[in-house]
Structure 1
Amino acid sequence: MKSLLTDPVDAEVIPARTLLGLGPRNQDIGNLRQLQLAPLRGRGSLRLVMGMGMALVAAFTMILSVPLPVAAGWLGAALLFGLWSFNQFRNMPFGDPKLSGVAEHRLCTRHALYSAVLWGSPFWLQGLSPTLDHVLSMWTIAVLMMVTLSIVAHSVPLACVLFIAPVTLSAAVALVRAGAPQLAGVALVAGLLLCAFCVRFAQSHIRFRRAEETLHEKTETVSLLLREFEETSADWLWQTDNSRRLVHVSPRLAFALGGTAERLEGVPLLQALSGDAWETGLFPKSLHDMAERMKRRESFSNLIVPVTIGGMPRWWELSASPRLDETGKFLGFRGVGSDVTEKRATAEQIAKMARFDNLTGLPNRLSLNEDLARALNHALDAKSRCALLMIDLDRFKAVNDTLGHPVGDKLLAQVAARLKGLMERGMTCGRLGGDEFAVVLHNVASADAAEELAQRLITTISRPYVVDNHQLFVGASIGFAMGPQDGATVETLTRNADLALYKSKDKGGNVVAGYVASLHAQAEERRVMEQELRGALERGEFELYYQPVVTAADGTLNGFEALIRWQNKKLGNVSPGRFIPLAEDARLISPIGEWVLRTACHEAMKWPSNLKVAINVSADQLTDPSFASVVVSALAQSGLSPQRLEIEVTESVFLRDGGGAAQLLDQLIGLGIRLSLDDFGTGYSSLGYLRKTQFSTIKVDRSFVVGAAKGSIESIAIIRAVVALADSLGMSTTAEGAETELEVDTIRAMGCSNIQGYYYGRPMPASDVLTLFRAPEAADSAAA
């Protein structure tokens, strides 16, 4: 092997006579003609453009010195010749190793001679006594043609010489006739030098190409030998003769084929691989492909073919290249093979895993995208509609957090089974990941039909589940988009369905939302707001306002509720109703809530000691294990008594959490902090919340206050029931949103403990709150 790598490359220079085709007819020139013709492959368009371009330049040059019909006639002849020559060479198999190349070489020389006649004629279009200016201009263009040809077709020097020599000779004679014999000598010398250049250039080219082929063959042989000795025992070398029969069968190949080397010697390769199918001719397609490639003497690499060994199906991976001798004669094929049966089985399993969800068995995102692409293509072709439904489970996180992921996984499997049971022809459901699913609808009639299916999905998913003796309830939010009107590509339709899903979740879940164009603007607004919200704390854009809470009986001030405000340079004043949900989704509510807590406690220390401060806390904050320590830290740093701090929570805290929030609230109660249940009666209104946690206050929503003032029997009954319930549990009640004297009188008449609303004061900044306490002191000092 070492000697093979270090053998000197054949550096023999091809004689000029042989290169020009002037040697003996029986001379062995091997693959010389193919090497000469190979660089011409694919250059037909270049030659056509070059010839026509130079013909146009020559015609425009001679138009001032030659009669117009003569110049036009020559130009027409040149253009027709160029097109004819291009057509002759267009499908010519230049450099094909299976051909000798002699015919193609002769065609090149003939066309070079025809072209020489064409380009030698412009010197004589003025007659036998042309002017010097005309001859010189034509000679300049002819020189450009000869130089260009020498570069483009240097590998075929005979063609170059047959063009250069006649054109040069014609130019020299014309120069003599024009009275410039010395220039004629220069032209002859230039033509001679160009011919010599072409021959020398061709010799270098052929020498280089032969050296390249020799190195390629040796490198290929070394690579095959290295694979034979260095790869695993499943690999082997194989070789055939020019009839595609096995030769030099190695013991390793014989073992793989289940026979002996002697018995397999001379057996057709296809017969050895196909087994019993050899008699019937019913070969697998991949074996047919391999046989065709070998018939065409083409190389192939990493071709996977099924084989039958001892009656058992196997899979082999084969690579091979044709073998040629020094003269270019085909000898057969040499290649390498390996048994990839186990590898293929593993690959098929991996492919299946890559396309289906392991937990639910449903198609995964990749499969759904492919199915959606098919649905879109069909909708575009048939001018019909398709749809994509995006499904997100509501309250699933609570199951994972409280009962663990194994229970959550079993719940997802049951959800998948229900989805699959609703699928009909033209429907595909799959899991995108986590608690997200999707349904692809082919050829759906209308958006109403898609919405109807979505409602059925919600109804089915929302039925109770039983997992490990636990009865579980989850809902579903669904957003859908119609194709192709809502998106003609998979990416666009998926994005728009996702925007619709966001809309459905913003509505509180368990609803269906269809895509509308305005969702893009809302998404962009949301993106900008989130970007600004992330730096709002550092930029100091938040401010706390405080709304008074008074005793219902006599209107005495007993505290304030802290309300956050956001002033942004880009967005202006942003209401809490817009940015608080976004802060919760973006996981920004905890740092913002901590700032509110610390700031409110600090400001409350400047008030009289009998006044409380109420702070709203989100469910995300109460699921943070460090929240209790943050409250303790805020109280310690500000010096505020725990009894003066009231934390307000809503019923959603208990719906989104499986018990952790209730435990944390119990810890806060143990510190002496008061708890208030906000918006009681507007949500789920479960009395179990009041049993779980010792609230000090129940807040009645403004909607009931307004209704009671207008005489609504239902609102009056609800307020009275809440007041009676609170009194029996030792809790106080606070009515929110009282704005008129009638509303205040109504609330007092029904026994509410406290009142909060514009009637007693709008939310005000901290400086205005301090003014309320300093006014009497200023009045006393003025009287003194």
Structure 2
Amino acid sequence: MMGLSSMADETGMRVLEAQLRSADSVAILRHGMNMCGLLFLWQVFSHCCPLMLLAGWSAALIVATAAAIGLSTHRGGANGPSDLRRHGLGALLQGLVWASCMALIGRSGQMTELIALWTLVSCVMVCGAISYAATPLAASAYLLPCIVGLFFMFDDNGQLPLRALATSYALSLLAGCFIYARTFARQHSTTAQLAEKSEVVSLLLREYEVGGSDWLWQTDTLRRISGVSSRFAETLGVEPAQLEGVSMVQILAGSGWDNGRFAAGLHNLADHLKRRESFSNLVLPVEIKGQWRWWELSASPRHDENGVFQGFRGVGSDVTAQRESADKIAQLARFDPLTGLPNRSHLREVLDQAMDTARGRSPGCGFMMIDLDRFKSINDTLGHQIGDKLLSQVARRLRQVCDAGEFCGRFGGDEFAVVLPHVADGAVMPRLASAIIGALSAPYQVDQHMLHVGASVGSALSPMDGRESEALIRSADLALYRAKDDGGGVHRAYEPQLHAQAEERRQLELALREALEKDQLHVLYQPVVDADQGVVLGFEALVRWTHPQLGAISPVKFIPVAEEARLIGPIGEWVLRTACMEAANWPDDVRIAVNVSAEQLAHPSFVSAVVSALAQSGLEARRLELEVTESVFMGEDTGALKVLDQLLGLGIQLSLDDFGTGYSSLGYLSRTRFNTIKIDRSFVVGASKNTAESLAIIRAVVTLADSLGMATTAEGVETEAELQMVRRLGCKKVQGYYFGRPMLPEDAARLFPAPQRVAIG
């Protein structure tokens, strides 16, 4: 502030420049006062003061004033502390001249002339204090010599009170200069800092506008667009000038502005703008040159320093791609991708709603299960591609048979279902079943093939055949089995007393169907660890069944039943969803592996079920690993490879389980990008016993995996010796009782204490 030390930062330099500008702006006042004082002295003291003395002093004042002007004029291009000191030197010269005036000229006159001189000096000091107020060094250099001169102007002969008064007056002016200079420096320092921050914000906003995908927008008090950003105008495909002053709602309404048809999101936006309240992540459709886009807007009201509303300022972004992706995921989660019909979960929702509506009414709602006859033979002989085309034609015929009051969908595989929300009489379902069988049994032309399939139908009616949707589905399924047992191509309604043999065969199946609903199934998690570091890399999800009467039932027993009864789909989907939900609570680098059967892969809705599980759990696709066995590649059909490619396209990891125990073929390894090959425990046990064949197989698998960019997991590692052996053979990951048995979710979660996971083994 004084200019006696160097400036270390840009803010200080800006304050210094402001000091010099302030002093320069009032310099004319100071110089004018000097000239007025000069004339005043000649008028008052010319008769009593020696003319040579008066002339010499006048010349000194003129020279000092000229020197001060010269020092201020010849500054460098960049102001610095030296300029403050040069400015202070000019002030010192003028202060010394006026001090000499008081010391020399003041004694030439009488009391009247003395009082006149004091009046003049007071005016000069006030004028100097005002002009040098922002520069305390110059103010001190100007006023301190004047204070000294006061002691010579007033002698000790009765003028001591006048001397004290004049000195106090001059010191007060000097103190006032310092106080003002301090306030001045603080204000300009704050202003400089705000300007610097404003420049930074402006720079960031410009970079944001240029490089970001979002844009800024703002409105005035009348909700008209103002200060249009270039990206905002570019997104709308117009020039910024065309948007200035136009209503924000009008721009977003597009052609709807004329007919008054506004989207719900636009109504919400208008309400927020009207109520002057903040909003965020408001998504609404916007028409741009005849095309509809989805925008996401956020904004807050802006006010001036007095709290007066100035309009809105916010940010917008085009989320059309995200919206379409979300709609696509929702579509995959509720509709079968092959036929376009509602999938199993969607049918279940509709059935639940129908049963809730029909409660207390008898008959209530109906449910029909439809299974194609001889479809498996066509699928096996002609391939899944022909089978898929056949299913698409079946779906179209089923839509044509069902009217607007009936809801049809694909239950899975070659099974379809129909929900009848209201059954007026007992003849409705037999009549519809007969129409379905007739329509689906007509010949199909698929490519160059003329195909013949039939249809069997089982039906159930609420509330007598089931008061809950699951019970009604089970009753219809039992009726369908009865129809299949009777040779197919017929309709059978559910009866309380079904064939005893079918009941016995389905006993375990029925219990298995209830297992999901009654939470009898649970998932255990076995850790998969890094072979070298012993760090948990992931878990394999293993389904277990504990029946309340039969106790624990081995997966070896109930999994084949589930596959035969086509329950492996819902069970596998439940395991997948449960495992994904649990894995979402683990660290981001830990994966979950879920086994997938050949029947699941052949199911057209399998990919949508995986997408739905990921979407509902929030688990990233890269953390899900699906394990398949070599049996999925039996035959010439490439349907499994296509499904696996779809899963890989979603970012899901693939693992080939039990490699080398079945139908090993290097051909499908070259066509499918597996991430991991799992080596069966039988080879691990054999290798630990130094069996040459097992050692050779493991080495070959490891070498093959490395060359194809795949990892290897050794299963069934139970001892330290087996661990060391698979390490030497080059296996990247290991799994087995040595590191942990299949465990409950809470036990698995304990392996990852916050904030870091724990290495085991």
Q: Same fold (TM over 0.5)?
A: no
What TM bracket, shorter-length normalisation?
0.3 to 0.5
